[in-house]
Amino acid sequence: MAKLTGILGPRGALAGAVLLWAALAMAAAWAPVAQAASSPWVDHEQTRLRLLSAADSAGDSQAISLGLHFRMEPGWKVYWRSPGDAGYPPRVDWSGSSNLADAALEWPVPHRFSLFGLETFGYDEEVVFPIVARPLRAGEAIALRAKVEYLTCNEICIPRDAVLTLDLPAGPGEASNDTFLIDDYRQRVPGQGPAQGLEIQEAALTGTLEAPVVQVVARSETPFGAPDVLIEAPPGFSFAAPQISLSDQDTRAVLRVAATPTGGGVLEGKPLTLTLTDGVRGSEHRIVARYADSAATGVLTARIADAQAGGPGRAPALAVILGLALLGGLILNLMPCVLPVLSIKLLSVVKHGGRAPASVRISFLASAAGILASFLVLAGAAILLKSLGLAVGWGIQFQQPLFLAGMALIVVIFACNLFGFYEFALPSWAQGAATLGRAPGGARGEPGVTEHFLTGALATLLATPCSAPFLGTAVGFALARGPFEIVAIFIALGLGLALPYLLIAAVPVLATRLPRPGPWMVVLRRVLGLALVATAVWLLSVLSAQVGMSGAAVTGVLLGALVAVVWFGRARVSRPRSTAIATPALAAILALAAVILPAGLDRHDTRPLAATEPSGELWQPFDQAEIARRVAAGQVVMVDVTADWCLTCQINKTLVLDRDPVRARIGGEEVTAMRRDWTLPSEAISSYLAEFGRYGIPFNAVYGPAAPDGIALPEILTTNTVIEALERAGGS
């Protein structure tokens, strides 16, 4: 400027400065600027509010970003969607708008306000509620008319209402001045934990039934500043401010929230929404409240429920479910349904005494492959049934006569093999494939991979009517999700069931150190064959419940004739050629008839009522409406869903339900016992089980004044588990 003054003189320099200022002002006037797109402020004494838009026109989008903007005088507040112990949230009526399909209000992370023992949640000073509006016809003008009702509180509370109007013209436009303000508050809306650097790792109930405590374990990528957890529950409960413990350089927080039942109910089994907050960060999770020791899954129930609800914990919870499925499959090896096939397992191990490690490894890997292949078939069947809209559950194939007869046939064939009536012999074209399972130099008579593969498949099929601890939770999760989860979880179940085989395959010395086979093996084979015969008799008894005693008896006679034909063909040392051909042909006809005959009979339950829906002094027929009436009258109701094909159900009855002190307790005047039979397919039972996230049996639940929604019991019952649930449901 000094040089300019020296050249032009004082007057010339001043004139140049004025011209420069005018040019800049003109350029600024012509430059595009962000336009305001908001309704006029509506002023009240304590608050003012307006409607914002992120753009100054409707554009052609299917979603328009809006915001409801509040400013409060110092000390005044408005409320969150769940206000806590008092208040109510803002409500918006859009009915006066045109070209508006719907508008969804979003809720940024609120503050906690504690006053005189009351806990409320809301906002002070300023807040913008982001809104996603969807036009009826994209690209056309929108006229927004929002009637807002809200409550503002300080020492007193004042209800207010306002009408906000905002017109957005058609056509493309520019971002408004308020775009960044709306986006800033939209980032404060609780969402997926990983995106916010927050995660709820565990959540469960502790404390007593009358004074429960919700315990939450949370993790943050950065040190916590002021962690909090806001709990939303059905009416009848209030929650105190959490007690907080920080560790791991303040990146791990344990929050304990005391709950008070104000309506006389129990918190267990209720759906909860947990909003973990830290400043403006928030992460939302949905769980079902469970006591840490009320089920076999314990604290992990919260993570499972979160994934079932499609919440942000889905990936971590799926990993947990896969672990439960693996453990459930392993425990399945000890369940009564699998015990009959233990004979084949045991004999398989004994046969390997003194053999080469390579032969042992291949044979046990083949059995594991049979298990995994069978579980993949079950997964595919479950996916197909779900896609067709049919009922699906664990073990429901035992409701099909064709399956029962086929399984009885397979078990009888294996029993005949153990009795020595015949040896497995493959066609000549398959002999090469069978020898793939033999180690180099292995014995010629040593079975190949086919027999071991079939052993694994049979173990899987016999395991399906049983429900082991953890298995019900895993299967329930899988069947409530999509094909990916079903396949992944069924593979994990198969791996669990196959783990003993894989262990021996990894350490063959566990089998090769056994005594070499000798004459004692003949006695062992016959004893184990009798175990399979007993299994066939059990399968026929289940079949009789579906096609009648006569139909099952005919099937049994055909199987007996098959055994006689096989024995006759084996016993004859010298046979004419015609007999050698006729024997296998007759055996094939008998086998085919034994399987097809039950499938052609009418499916009906021929058992008396007492066998299906007991009506005696102890057990009554299941009536869901009656449960509510009896609970309202102050009674406790014990429900048992069972089936003839469910061996675990029979074990529960024999060892727990039909023995004192449980029998005496459920037979008392204060308890009503109801039983429901699932031997035959029933859509009503499938729906009832699905209400508890279960898709298989055994299933037991206890209802009472303190548990009107029911307490689901573990698959394996114990006396203490049942007695404790009865007391808890009764409120004692």
Residue with the bigger pLDDT between 513 and 62: it is 62
What domains can be seen in the chain, in order of their start residue?
A: 42-186 (2.60.40.10), 193-312 (2.60.40.10), 329-599 (no CATH), 609-730 (3.40.30.10)
pLDDT at 576: 55
Phi-psi region of 606 (alpha: psi -120 to 50; beta: other; left: phi over 0): alpha
Where do we find the tokens 């927004």?
Answer: 144
Instruction: Quote the strand ranges of 554-689, DSSP E.
Output: 619-621, 636-642, 671-677
pLDDT at 468: 59
DSSP 341: G
Least confident range of 186-195, 435-444, 513-522, 704-713: 435-444
Residue with the bigger pLDDT between 598 and 55: it is 55
Amino acid letter, residue 117: G
**DSSP letters spanning 484-520:** HHHHHHHHHHHHHHHHHHHHHHH-THHHHTSPPP-TH
CB burial of 280-296 (b: ≥16 within 10 Å; e: otherwise) equals ebbbbbbbbbbbbebbb
pLDDT at 390: 55
Where do we find the tokens 């001043």?
Answer: 14
State mean pLDDT over 150-164: 92
Distance CA 551, CA 295 (A): 41
Distance CA 506, CA 431 (A): 27
Look at residue 429 and tell me whether its pLDDT is greater than 50: no
Closest CA to 87 of 50, 59, 112: 112
Look at residue 492 and tell me whether its pLDDT is greater than 70: yes
Look at residue 4 and tell me whether its pLDDT is greater than 80: no
Give the whole-number percent of the chain exceeding pLDDT 90: 24
Distance CA 45, CA 158 (A): 10
pLDDT band at 125 (very low <50, low <70, confident <90, very high): very high
Instruction: Quote the strand ranges of 187-328, DSSP E.
Output: 198-207, 212-220, 227-232, 237-239, 243-247, 252-261, 271-278, 281-288
State mean pLDDT over 497-518: 74
| Residues 689/641, Cβ–Cβ less than 8 Å | yes
State mean pLDDT over 684-691: 76
| Residues 647/535, Cβ–Cβ less than 8 Å | no
Closest CA to 166 of 1, 29, 39, 327: 39
Distance CA 247, CA 411 (A): 58
| Residues 700/641, Cβ–Cβ less than 8 Å | yes
In a 3-state reduction of DSSP, which class is residue 326? helix
Distance CA 351, CA 366 (A): 15
State mean pLDDT over 578-592: 73
Look at residue 76 and tell me whether its pLDDT is greater than 90: yes
- The mean predicted confidence, pLDDT, of the chain is 77
| Residues 77/123, Cβ–Cβ less than 8 Å | yes
**Residue 698, preceding bond cis, omega within 30 degrees?**
yes
pLDDT band at 268 (very low <50, low <70, confident <90, very high): confident
Distance CA 296, CA 287 (A): 17
H/E element, 91: strand 91-93
State mean pLDDT over 304-329: 59
Q: What is the pLDDT of residues 50-69, one digit of tens each?
A: 999 999 898 888 889 999 99
**Cα angle for residues 31, 33, 36 (degrees, 5° grid):** 150
Look at residue 5 and tell me whether its pLDDT is greater than 70: no
Contacts of 177 (CB under 8 A, 6+ apart): 34, 35, 36, 37
Instruction: Classify the C-alpha dihedral 717-720-723-728 as positive or negative.
Output: negative
Look at residue 471 and tell me whether its pLDDT is greater than 70: no
pLDDT at 312: 39
pTM of the predicted model, to two decimals? 0.44
pLDDT at 343: 59
State mean pLDDT over 296-324: 50
Least confident range of 171-175, 431-435, 447-451, 545-549: 431-435
Most confident stretch, 22-26, 509-513, 535-539, 643-647? 535-539
Tell me the two tokens of residue 444: 């010629």
pLDDT band at 6 (very low <50, low <70, confident <90, very high): very low
Look at residue 139 and tell me whether its pLDDT is greater than 60: yes
Look at residue 310 and tell me whether its pLDDT is greater than 50: no
Least confident range of 319-328, 454-463, 658-667: 454-463
Q: How far apart are the first and last CA of the chain?
A: 92
Tell me the two tokens of residue 171: 């056509």
